[in-house]
Amino acid sequence: MRAVTLAALFIQLLNGLASASALFLVAAGLTLIFGVSRIINFAHGSFYMLGAYAAYAIGARLDVHFGRSLGGFAAAVVLAAVAVAALGALVERLVLRRLYGAPELLQLTATFGLLLIIRDATLAAFGAEDLLGPRVPGLDGTVELLGRPVPSYDLALIVAGPVVLAALTYIITCTRFGVQMRATAEHRVLAAALGIDEARLATIVFALGALLGGLAGALQLPREPANLGMDLSVIADAFVVTVVGGLGSIPGAFLAAVLIGVTKALCIMIGDVSVGVVTFALPRATLVVEFVVMAAVLAVRPNGLLGKPPAAMGALPEARALVRRPGHAQAIVAAAALGAALLLGIAGDDYARVLATDILIATLFTASLQLLTGTGGIVSFGHAAYFGIGAYAAALAARHAWPFAAALALAPLAAWLAGWFFGALSMRLAGIYRAMLTLAFAQIVWSIAYQWDAVTGGSNGLVGVWPPPWLGAGRAYYWFTLAIVALAWFALAALRRTPFGFALRAGRDAAARAEALGIDVRQRQWRACALAGAFAGLAGGLFAFSKGSLSPETLGIGRSVDVLVMLLLGGVDAPFGPLLGAGAFVWLQDTLARTTDYWRACVGVGILVLCLAFPHGVGGGYARLRAALTRR
């Protein structure tokens, strides 16, 4: 452990406060948007990224015409924030207004589609290279405090956070606009009855939130180059701050940003800590510490530091309509899919079999989430954690010379234990808080995989994970995967028809009534977390041996969103939804990736069309149409 002096502690606290101030600006915009519109805006990180790029472009133009100056930098920051605000207003009016009142699952998926579109648009406009902004004239030096130099720009950032907090507090508490915001956040219907133009207010608030996100990105440009990874890197942090502070609470977001910023700074300063023979490398834990803080705060205060209890997350749109047993149409779909799989295994080429293997694994992964979300009504934003845990468990066992069968069996076991443990931690939470805690859990697991070089290989991952020779030759692994996925899928289908499955549905649709009938809803949901984790882990184990290598991306945010899209595409509770969703998504992604550099934008457009035009998915939409025709 490093020797800590008072001067070093003070300087590190200033560094933490500078980071906290920038993070607060992003989280404040996210909090404002959620407080009024109740929408989970995954694309808010894109506004942060666009703010940095816009400030770079506008600043370069101003430097050419007027020369470099502090006033020019300030003008570039303001103009960049205003431009992002205008884009935010346009996005709200054209896209997000249609999602108000929709389930959180749809909101998250649709806004992730927006993120993909904005990222590829930025790539087309600015290229793939990082853009380093110039140092700010007048703030490019240092100030000596307690005998140590402190960047002047960091001190300016520290001031910016409280100034924005004071301005937002004044607007919310002392202006007519703020009163309308609070009234709409408390009771939308009553606010509309009192004459508040809810649509106009939502647009203004969304633009204000986007302005804060763009402002944060523009102010960050002197400290960090503008790059295409800024959106995802900041959105997870912003979600953590928003949830820890309490959804909809601006002062709570400020306290949470300070708590997390200072905690991360202290971890860097303290260095390694030894407890007995175990050494904890705290500087390397900065990626995970904020999520640990989030889990600890929510364990003590389930609604965050200053938050209020959220409304219970309702059943997904098509959940009640699909409790019946699959009919003849679903049986025909299953028979056709089985026939296609058999034909592909016999006559398909190597590339087609690899793609089909990916579809089978994705089908099992999606089916595991369907058990949790479709049957149990538990929305998970971090389901890739179980997939990745299973994949890493199988890969590590294989690298330590375990037999193939034992290594593959370890995958669902490890993921089941993770699901059991996390389910126990999350049972006290409800609604969006529990959903966001799943994201925190996934990020903790990702951070461990990314930084534990000695075990997981760190950012390089693990290589050389192959099945035994008798499975690695020809079509053998495809047939093996087909058999395992088919058995697991039938097991999940049977589980949904058991008393346990019906009890899960009862807790999803009417928790209070189910409790009154003697069903322990929380205990059933806890078991569902563990079971869903086990099946996802099995899919991860199959994935590890099919690819021969792993990286931390296996359990990243992107994969969690992919499985949500596949679930929505097929239908959240449609009997054969996982097969339809996984097949369409994997095939489309593979085709687009081979034909265009901007395939992410194409996928994003497809996600938006799915969420806006077919919110029940292909399978769910078909079932609802058939039910409507039957009633007639």
499: its two tokens:
């008393």
CA–CA gap between residue 627 and residue 242 (Å, rounded) = 41
As a whole number, mean pLDDT of residues 8-13 equals 77
What integer pLDDT is reported at residue 85 of this predicted model? 94
Q: Of 396-400, 410-414, 435-439, 581-585, give the range with the top mean pLDDT.
A: 410-414
Contact 384, 563 (CB under 8 A): yes
Amino acid at 30: L
Percent of the chain, pLDDT > 70? Answer: 85
What integer pLDDT is reported at residue 277 of this predicted model? 39
As a whole number, mean pLDDT of residues 272-288 equals 50
Query: pLDDT confidence of 414, banded at 50, 70, 90?
Result: very high
**Long-range contact list for 73-79, CB < 8 A, 24+ apart?**
73/136, 73/137, 76/218, 77/215, 77/218, 77/219, 79/54
What integer pLDDT is reported at residue 321 of this predicted model? 36
Query: pLDDT confidence of 319, banded at 50, 70, 90?
Result: very low
Query: pLDDT confidence of 595, banded at 50, 70, 90?
Result: confident
- Mean pLDDT, all residues of the chain: 81
Strands 272-275 vs 148-151: parallel, antiparallel or unpaired: unpaired
578: its two tokens:
């996982």
State yes or no: pLDDT of 185 exceeds 80: no
State yes or no: pLDDT of 341 exceeds 70: no
State yes or no: pLDDT of 316 exceeds 60: no
Each residue of 517-542: pLDDT tens digit?
Answer: 888 888 888 899 999 999 999 999 99
- Picking from 318, 360, 370, the residue whose alpha carbon sits closest to that of residue 531 is 370
What integer pLDDT is reported at residue 542 of this predicted model? 93
450: its two tokens:
């990314």
Q: Which residue has the higher pLDDT, 343 or 125?
A: 125
Query: pLDDT confidence of 344, banded at 50, 70, 90?
Result: low
CA–CA gap between residue 220 and residue 225 (Å, rounded) = 8
Phi, psi of 195 (to 5 degrees): 100, 10
Q: Which residue has the higher pLDDT, 54 or 466?
A: 54
- Picking from 617, 431, 567, the residue whose alpha carbon sits closest to that of residue 40 is 431
- Picking from 490, 533, 489, 607, the residue whose alpha carbon sits closest to that of residue 376 is 533
What integer pLDDT is reported at residue 163 of this predicted model? 92
Each residue of 220-268: pLDDT tens digit?
Answer: 888 888 898 888 888 878 888 888 888 778 888 899 998 888 887 777 7
| CA distance to 271, 293, 584, per residue, from 466 (Å) | 38, 38, 27
Could you write out the three-class secondary structure of 201-236?
HHHHHHHHHHHHHHHHHHHHCCCCCECCCHHHHHHH
Q: Which residue has the higher pLDDT, 612 or 359?
A: 359
CA–CA gap between residue 403 and residue 399 (Å, rounded) = 10
What integer pLDDT is reported at residue 64 of this predicted model? 60
Q: Which residue has the higher pLDDT, 537 or 473?
A: 537
State yes or no: pLDDT of 409 exceeds 60: yes
Name every residue whose Cβ is closer than 8 Å to that of residue 95 and which is 6 or more positions away in sequence.
110, 114, 608, 612
Q: Which residue has the higher pLDDT, 295 or 169?
A: 169
What integer pLDDT is reported at residue 533 of this predicted model? 93
Query: pLDDT confidence of 410, banded at 50, 70, 90?
Result: very high
Q: Helix crossing, 577-595 with 350-370: angle to 10°? A: 130
As a whole number, mean pLDDT of residues 76-85 equals 93
**Long-range contact list for 257-261, CB < 8 A, 24+ apart?**
257/20, 257/21, 257/23, 257/24, 257/27, 257/161, 258/16, 258/17, 258/20, 258/24, 259/293, 260/20, 260/23, 260/289, 260/290, 260/293, 261/16, 261/17, 261/18, 261/19, 261/20, 261/21, 261/23
State yes or no: pLDDT of 317 exceeds 50: no
What integer pLDDT is reported at residue 323 of this predicted model? 39
- The residue count of the chain comes to 632
Amino acid at 97: R
State yes or no: pLDDT of 311 exceeds 80: no
CB atoms within 10 A of CB 346: 9
Residue 630 burial (10 A CB sphere; 0-12, 13-18, 19+): exposed
Each residue of 198-212: pLDDT tens digit?
Answer: 888 888 999 999 999
Q: Which residue has the higher pLDDT, 170 or 68?
A: 170
CA–CA gap between residue 90 and residue 459 (Å, rounded) = 38
CA–CA gap between residue 523 and residue 512 (Å, rounded) = 14
What integer pLDDT is reported at residue 338 of this predicted model? 63
State yes or no: pLDDT of 625 exceeds 70: no
Phi, psi of 587 (to 5 degrees): -65, -45
82: its two tokens:
């205003």
What kind and span of H or E run contains 619?
A: helix 617-631
Estimate to the nearest angstrom the gap between the alpha carbon of 280 and the chain centroid. Answer: 27
Q: Could you tell me how many helices (H) and strands (E) the chain has, helices first?
A: 26, 6
Percent of the chain, pLDDT > 90? Answer: 20
Name every residue whose Cβ is closer than 8 Å to that of residue 204 and which is 6 or more positions away in sequence.
89, 177
State yes or no: pLDDT of 278 exceeds 60: no
Query: pLDDT confidence of 394, banded at 50, 70, 90?
Result: very high
Contact 531, 394 (CB under 8 A): no
As a whole number, mean pLDDT of residues 365-390 equals 89
> What are the beta bridge partners of residue 275?
278
CA–CA gap between residue 59 and residue 490 (Å, rounded) = 59
**DSSP H stretches of helix in 198-327:** 198-220, 230-245, 250-270, 286-300
Contact 293, 443 (CB under 8 A): no
CA–CA gap between residue 432 and residue 109 (Å, rounded) = 14
C-alpha dihedral, 274 to 280 to 283 to 286, nearest 10°: -140
